[in-house]
Amino acid sequence: MSVGSQALSDSLRAVFAERVQLQSVAADGVCAEVGAADLLPVALSLRDHPQLRFEQLIDVAGVDYLDYGRTEWQAEKATGSGFSRGVNRAAGHTLQGSRRFAVAYQLLSVTHNRRLQLRCWCEGEEEPCVDSLTSVWASANWFEREAYDLFGILFRDHPDMRRLLTDYGFIGHPFRKDFPLIGNVEVRYDATLKRVIYEPVSIDARTLVPRVIRHDNRYDPSLSGVSGDGKRG
């Protein structure tokens, strides 16, 4: 553990006591967790307290913990064990109640040259929600819109809670683990109606094996020193 990480963990304990739970301390930063009710006041203190001074919010990411650490990825044909099967039984993580969605904040203190990852569990599951931090860090605006668009996480008191990456009429949230991989609707331009229309997804089976074998100049005999009859020149 570096001196900076130890100093940051000590400052967090001194300033917040039980309101912030330290999850891990590494050489390059500290990971902590805060309750949804304390998110906004804790964020203000993280920015303004002289021992902390986290002036920059670098990133905001939504996290979906559905089936996290429980089981392997569902597949029609797959082994029950092996490399990268998407399960970590040693972690001991289990979902509690509606604790499915969380928001992870990456913070930087330019003053003290320290980094902090702050995680907050969302309230609710069907409509997960936390307070918006746009009043604390202006950079949270588009980050929170992205998390709303892709995960369906709502940010209370956000000034412009609209989709950011998907289309205006898009249905669902693509990064939820229960979202169908083929999507819900498809979009096309109708020349007769002269507008974009939405229709149910229609996917036809395709043959992905190439039917035509084309010449590849990388295997030209003249480049390898082998003649057309298989003899070296």
What does pLDDT average to in each consecutive run of 10 residues of the chain (233 residues)? 81 92 78 95 96 96 83 56 50 58 96 94 90 97 97 96 86 88 84 90 67 65 61 53
**Cα–chain center distance at 193:** 38
Largest CA distance in the chain: 81
Contact 135, 44 (CB under 8 A): no
Confidence at residue 149, expressed as pLDDT on a 0 to 100 scale:
96
The CA distance from 176 to 181, in Å, is 10
Neighbour tally for 58: CB within 10 Å? 14
List the alpha helices (DSSP H) in 17-92.
39-48
Superfamily of domain 3-166: NADH:ubiquinone oxidoreductase Nqo5 subunit (3.30.460.80)
Confidence at residue 83, expressed as pLDDT on a 0 to 100 scale:
45
Confidence at residue 104, expressed as pLDDT on a 0 to 100 scale:
96
Contact 78, 22 (CB under 8 A): no
Q: What is the pTM of this model?
A: 0.74
Enumerate the domain spans of the chain: 3-166
The CA distance from 122 to 228, in Å, is 68
Contacts of 147 (CB under 8 A, 6+ apart): 60, 61, 62, 103, 153, 155
Cα dihedral 171→173→174→175 (10° resolution): -170
The pair of three-digit structure tokens given for residue 195, joined into one six-digit string: 């507008």
The pair of three-digit structure tokens given for residue 26, joined into one six-digit string: 């590494």
Cα dihedral 141→144→149→154 (10° resolution): -120
CA distances 79 to 71, 75, 86, 87, Å, are: 12, 9, 12, 13
